[in-house]
Each structure stands twice: as C-alpha cells, then as structure tokens.
Chains A and B, each alone.
Chain A
Amino acid sequence: MRSWNSFGILFMMGAGAFLIVALPLLVETFVLVDFTLYAALAILAMSLALVWGFCGILSLGQAVFFGIGGYAYGVSVLNIGDSTLPVALAVLLPMIFAAMLGYFMFWGRISDVYLAVITLTVSLIFFLVINSTSGGEYRIGAAPLGGYNGIPGLPALNLPGRPDRQLDFEEMYALTVALALATYFFLRWLLVTRFGRVIVAIRENEVRVGLLGYDSRKYKLAAYVIGAGVAGMGGALYAAWGGLINPDVFGIAFAAQVIVWVLIGGLGTLLGPVIGVVGIQWLVGWLGKMKITDANIILGAIFVAFVLFAPAGLIPKLRKIGVRWLNRRRVSASGSVESGP
C-alpha cells in the first residue's frame, strides 16, 4: 500500500497547487473568502484528527485552543500593529496552556470519559469568563476584551515587518490554504516518525505501550501540545479572516461542530476531517439561507446517526468499499489492508 501513500501525497500536492494557483483565476472573490474560512477551520479539524483520531485523546474542547489562538492574535495585534509576532503568540500560548492542562490530566491518569468532560468544561469556563468581560475596564493594553461582542476591527495579516502592507483577500486565501497544506504534510510526516508510531500505538493499546518501556504520558502530552499549537494557528487565521474574535469559539455549539467534522470524516484519517469541515460548513450555511429548520436539529441528528450507524466515519467506510472494489477487480491481490493515515 506504499504506492497508494505516495500517490496520495502527489494528489494532495496537485490539489494544493490547483487550489492556490488556478482557483483564484476561476471563481469570484467571495468564493475565495469562503474557502479561506474553510482552510482555517480545516487546520483546527486536523489538530483534532491528530489528538483524537491518531492518539486517542478525546479532546472534546479542542476548540478552546483555537479560541485562545484567536484571542492571542487579536489582543496582541491591536497592541503591536505588526501581525508577525501575534501569529507566533497564537501558536505558543495555546501550547503553554495545553501543557499545563495536559499535565494535570495525563499525570493524573484520568480515564477517557473524565478527560473528555474536563476538556469540554474548560472550554465552557472560558466561554463564561470571556462573556463577562464586557465592561470597558477589561482591556489588555490597547485591546478591549468586549465580552460577548468579542474584539472587532482586527487588521488582516501583513507582510512581516510591514504593518502598512496588509494582505488582500486573494493573498490571505493563498496563505491560509498554503498553511493548511503545510499542516497536512507536517502531520503526515509526524505520523510516520518514531514519535507518530508511538502515539498511534497508544491509541491501540496504551498498557502494552507502557509495558514496552514508553512513558505514554509524555507522548500523549506532546501530541496534545502539538495539536494545541496547530489549533492556535487556525484560530489566528480565523481571527484575521473575519477581523473579529468572539466567545462563540469557546461555546458548546462550536465545540460540537469540531467533533462532528472529525466524526463524519473519519477517525484515524487527516483528510476526512477536512472533508467534514467543507461538508458541514456548506450544509449549515445552506440551511441558514433556506431557513427550513434550526441548524442544531440537523447537526444533532447527523451526530446521533453517525454514532449509531457509521461510527468509523465516511473516509474509512469509502476506503473499505474502494478496497473491496479493487480486490474484486484484481482477484489475485492479497486481502490485507494497511490502515495508514
């Protein structure tokens, strides 16, 4: 199946080149603006794909790192002006927070469910705290936190060191898609390193990994922290995309959406969650336009249906169908299927 993997990488490179170079020539700017959002959210989805899909840490509150990244970007860019350092902070601060939270969770060896609930609760606490900062006295330097209205009027990203030279929509699009692709390849690479093999092994059987001499706590913490950094970068891009960051990113509805993306796309894949992002965002937008029914009902129904009927998600299911189809065509092919990333 190695040939399939290199084919997949070539395919992704081709798709990336097409998205960055050709698409802007083909479609209107507002489509690019939508795609920029998808790319920023895809980065968040891939961070959860790493943490949950490959390492088996059910981080229900993964969006909290996205939110911290967004707020770190918003607050620091209003104070500094130049967007280079704020993006770095948006990656760094979530990692520091994840390291602290992860220490308590992984060294306490709390069970999966407890961990799931704690991560989500942390997100909800952030939601409450940020929501209550609406007064003018809550400001960090030049940036008012703004409570439930969030921080509006954030500048877009600029060329490093030149705050006066901001990126336009097309450049913002190209950068965000490029960073999403870079994230994809980075995680692909990470998963075939020794470290990546160990975290997948932890997902499969943590006790056995421990008996083989690996300290699973350290590996889980590292995966969690890397995931937080990736999610934080997504948050910065999201804040720069909309010029706004508000506490909804810490809310339960957004946290649920992130889970649905990964669940639908498929655990143990990187591309599946990205497809989940595009599919769900498109569906939610379409429902909003059509005003047929409340988006929560559809989202909730999809959620329950996938858990009951397709817990593995779309991509693994399609892959299984595809493999069966290939095997039928090439009867002599061996039946073993490697379940790589």
Chain B
Amino acid sequence: MDVVLVVVIQVLYAIASLALISIGLAIIFGMMRVINFAHGEFLMMGGFACIMFADAGVNLWISMLLLAPLVVGAIGIVVERLVIQHLYGRVIETVLATWGLSLFFIGVASITVGYFRMGVTPPFGSIRIGLYSEGVYTFFVIGVAVAVVLGVYLFLRHTRWGLIARGTMQFPNMAAALGVNPRRVYAATFFAGAALSGLAGAVLAPLAGVVPTSGITYIAKAFITVISGGATVVAGTTAASVLLGGINQIVTFLSRPVIGEVALLLVAVILLRFLPQGITGRFFRRGL
C-alpha cells in the first residue's frame, strides 16, 4: 500500500516537472512558432539567478518565485529584440540562431560561474510514508506546476491581454488593424515564456543543483513534450506531460531511470508517426 502511494507521488512529480520545464517552451512555440533552442539555458539561468539571490541574502521564496523569473524574462526580451525579431516566419533560421545563443549562454555561464555545481538545500524537510520518506518539496513542485498550468489557462482564456495575445497569434494583420501593436505582443509573449522557464529552473534548482550545462539535461525532454503535445499550449503540454511523464516514471520504477528516458523517446517517436501534428493535432482541438 505504501509502495503504491510512493509510486503515485513519483508519477505525479514526473508529470509535474515535465509540465513545468515545457510550459515556457510551449508558449513560445505555440504562440509564435519559434522553437527556442536556448530554452535549456533559460532554465539554467533561472536556477543560477535563484541560487545567487538566495546566497546574497534575499529570501529564498522571493528569489525563486519573483526575481528568477524577472531576470530570465528580461534576458528573454533582450534576445527577442536583438535576434528573434529578425527571423519571424523563418522557422529553421530561428532554430539555428537560438542554438547559437544556447552555446553562447553556456560559454558565458562557465566563465562567470565556473564548472562547479551550485545548490541550496530543499526547504521543508521530509515526511514518512510507511517505510519510505518523501521530501515535502516534491509536493511543492507539483503544486507550482498545477498553479502555473492553471494560471496560463486562466490568463489566456479570461483576460483581455490573453484575448489580445491569442488574436495576434491567429491573425497578426487583423490585430494590427484593430489597434494592437503585434511587435509588442510578440515581445511580451517571449517575456512570458522566458519568465516561466526561469521560474521552472529556479523551482527545480534545489533538487538538482545547477551547472552551466544543466540546460542540456532538461532540453531533450522539453522538446519532446512540446512537439508531442502539438501547437496548443495548455492542453498540449498537459496531455503530453501526463502521457510521457507517466510512462517515463512507471518504466523507471520497473527498471532503471535510463530505460525510462528511452521509453519516453520511443513513445514520442511512435506517437509522431501516427499524430504528426502532435496530440492536439487530433484531440482536444478546441482547447487552449
């Protein structure tokens, strides 16, 4: 019985962390058709920002939930203004340019911080479930993921800004004719995606620690999740996270973590053979 409970918690955690690391990428891809290869580095910078502010004496929660997203969001705006805005509509070029940025950020991080692992101890301690112990922080991560996904949904669905964002992505010229400045909407969307990536990096930092190459460990999973999900931000990310995170964690539990990752990839490749537009290309098409 305890085992079942622990496995359920682990599966939920796998799904939550997958949704968390993917949502920023999904927003930028779903809304703007830009695959941001520097996404992993946004996560890495979020982690570093959180740890550095915490080390400097700022309250851990403020640096994690407020400062890290703001810093990474600001970096996102700079990137959008300097590089991405010249490449809208040229998907392949954006992939290459953001990949160059990814290398650049790794290089900058490794000369400024160096190649050692920075970390903070996860707050809260742990609780006992029968013979097992589980960090309370795990539940916190699950909570943050739920809050973020729900928040993005409510924002897009029920606010005026969300309406403007959706309208601009569907039909930029019409939005412009109605008095919206599409360039500003693109920049804001990129800011939001980057900030959520920063938040995800910061929230996961206490568990995994951060090194300049941390992004690489996340990026493959994030890509696969977003692509399997399809272009629909919230529904796609949620569906793909549930499917892939669930499979990953269950296979991990039955064998080893690496086999779990391989299973995740295999399922995603086979999925794309039958649903080339991602899950939301066929199901939940009217979702957000």
Contact = CB atoms under 8 A, between A and B. Distances in A.
Interface of A: 58, 60, 101, 104-105, 107-114, 116-118, 120-122, 124-125, 128-129, 132, 251-253, 256, 259, 263, 293-305, 307-308, 311
Given A108-B276, A294-B111, 10 more contacts: A113-B92, A118-B227, A120-B220, A121-B224, A122-B269, A132-B256, A256-B100, A300-B106, A302-B100, A307-B96
Contact of A128 (B95, B102, B261, B268): B261
* Most A CB within 10 A of own CB, among B83, B97, B224: B97
B285 interface: no
B241 to A, nearest CB: 16
B273 A114 contact: no
B111 A304 contact: no
A297 B273 contact: no
B269 A101 contact: yes
Contacts of A111: 276
Interface string B89-112: 001110111011111111110110
DSSP majority for the B interface?
helix
A137 to B, nearest CB: 12
27 contacts: A58-B92, A60-B99, A101-B269, A104-B272, A104-B273, A107-B273, A108-B272, A109-B276, A111-B276, A113-B95, A114-B272, A121-B223, A121-B224, A125-B261, A125-B262, A128-B220, A128-B258, A128-B261, A252-B216, A294-B110, A297-B104, A297-B107, A299-B103, A300-B103, A300-B104, A302-B100, A303-B97
Interface in B209-230: 216, 219-220, 223-224, 227
A297 B102 CA distance: 9
B175 to A, nearest CB: 24
Given A117-B35, A297-B108, A112 B103 contact: no
A239 to B, nearest CB: 23
Given A113-B95, A116-B92, A294 B272 contact: no
A184 B106 CA distance: 34
Contacts of B216: 124, 251-252
Nearest to A107: B273
Contact of B35 (A104, A107, A113, A303): A113
Contacts of B220: 120-121, 124-125, 128
Contacts of B104: 296-297, 300-301, 303-304
Contacts of A301: 100, 104
Contacts of A259: 96, 99
Interface in B6-21: none
Contacts of A129: 258, 261-262
